[in-house]
A and B are shown apart, each in its own frame.
Chain A
């Protein structure tokens, strides 16, 4: 009965599955018209190194997952490297970073030890969380990285609290709160926007629009796909940024961070980016065409863009880039080697870190 009723009354609706049939989603290939100032050679070299480290690290993590050394859920950041690297170039030391579960790139960009991150992925003693957190849950107060959270959108209210603590302590720091286009549809995001603007908290909300909320494209999941407008009714300024161009990210990031640090309140940056891999390692990403991914890799790859600039504009030699490549591979291989041989956690760890005073 219920099924029949839905069929007859549903004539006015658009077919919600239709967008999935489109070969290349038009929203995917749109690029915001940012025109950022050029990087110096040193800046491009630094960005190249940082982004390459994330990419190679993630590729290695993918391999270790395939070998069964990494279990659980493992979300790779490949394709999105320019976002966190550009933002970190704009941030001050001590500005806090918090994100969801696609967090490896953020941790590396915050300067966390690749060995400690990889060893957490393999669940070893030397991992940042001593093997108790895994891919989605790491933390480093020293590097101002506040996790690593597995519930979609929850880091937005927590991150607002980081800004609240900055405001409370008047320490001049800004909280950088990362979440995706999928998390942008969670309710607590808007509670957070309201509170942050009401109290003029020093928070930059960075919406990493990688075009897919798990397996659902932005057009099929979001009524308003311009995420920079999501703060309009709270009077929070926002802008769309070419998140594949590290220069555009750094420039917009600087503007947003300066705004927040000066006491004017929060700022929203929608980073138009793209993830090359599936949502997690267990996702074959059949909801999009191979052409769409190939086109993005070919035309918009954040690392290739910098590499090209280094070779053509800065006249950096291939040899020098090869040296960077080799150095990055060495760091990544070392982390994998460490993470493969570091001992597994002692069973006694099971009972530590639950409460200050542990009582069975």
Chain B
């Protein structure tokens, strides 16, 4: 590949960042045009070069024809949160051309499809026209695929300009097209033709390039929903019911895809040890999942905010009647239909209190792709141990984007089926047992499961008042005992829930509290602040109700910045509710424009809070 020296003297650059393996790229295309393939190809090619990289889809709630963007961040230090600044912009869509042009930082690079004849009124950037249509025409793509492979032109031209490895680019295509040589070669040929054209016709006048590193060798790359799906399978999932909703659909679809691969039954290979049911709506999805959980299956459903609203009634019943079931909420921006394709962390309050009457629920908060996998299986252990509904709150940013992750680890403990009595157990008790008797004093009773053939095993489950033996009652004492035991069970839950992850620097009064997908932005912000002499401690909460470590952390820091993606500071609200005497130690830093968090936002919150 020809190399051109960056003409630095001619730059009017104000570029702040170093120029090798440290910049962001935005690709503006039309959705439904096949740009997803080309964007993932760039992302994956960089990943296999050993460079830490992330990619985010900023896509519209639409199937075809609206502007969509993909933003790739390359960072040699492994800081992969979104950035406000975009050094390189590729404009393929006339509809967003003007906006895309303004996105480029001074000193940056602007690539554009040259059939777009709009004015380019900037002198402070490198400008690279791309003969996209011509090169697509000249390729051997059939006419109906020409627009699709046209996107590979920018892949090639970018590759030539930045120095993206051709082998890793081929590897990316090979993965995407699952080894099918026809589409791989078709697309690769467009890329190489574009590279040749760029080498011949474009003079590089920007400072950005990539160089191979060795930082990704031990990583895999996948999305959070796939991780959750696989984790669930390693949790022995037996039943999933679901209704399609953005951004959750790919989770049960992933389960459906991997189950036949991973669950080939040794005893009856032509049978299924699982059932996946696409329900008619979320009311049915949660109903089925609860029926299955009640009847002894490891059972789950996945949805987003609007679906959760529909599930409220049955969720309350599962909590009250103590039925194990797992519900993944891959959060998107609400309220209401909201922004279906934008991320948020705004279902905390709703989920925690989901269900009328005095109700609190258990929530898990995975903070990485690896934790999406781990909580995929752990959530079943917790649900069956506590005999209740468990909510796992992920979000669109983790769920639907490709992230670097460590290889998935096999579960480190056997499946915990909880307190279950089968025929022999009932026989040993001579039939003297009660579904809601707190025999161990931990608030958790023993259950039998439909299909248990012992004559004393059966009981009637209901959402109405029931006593220790599951009989209908309206007696005040029975009611109080029941609600008190449910509260005890809930309050004891932190013993078996994931504890917060705490990281400290030297002698600081500043605590940062976060959860979920804000981790990359927070870690980058902490690094930047430390470079300016501002140290911070960080606690990433992983479950609600809170373990004692949460209280200790807040107590130990006079100022705790609670970072979250929602308007009302929902985590701060829950912390205030739980620790009212510590409320003045909490400062809310809540962002809610539907975009993934940036380090600048976190830094800004702390700097202004500290009066700097």
Q: Real complex partners, A and B?
A: no
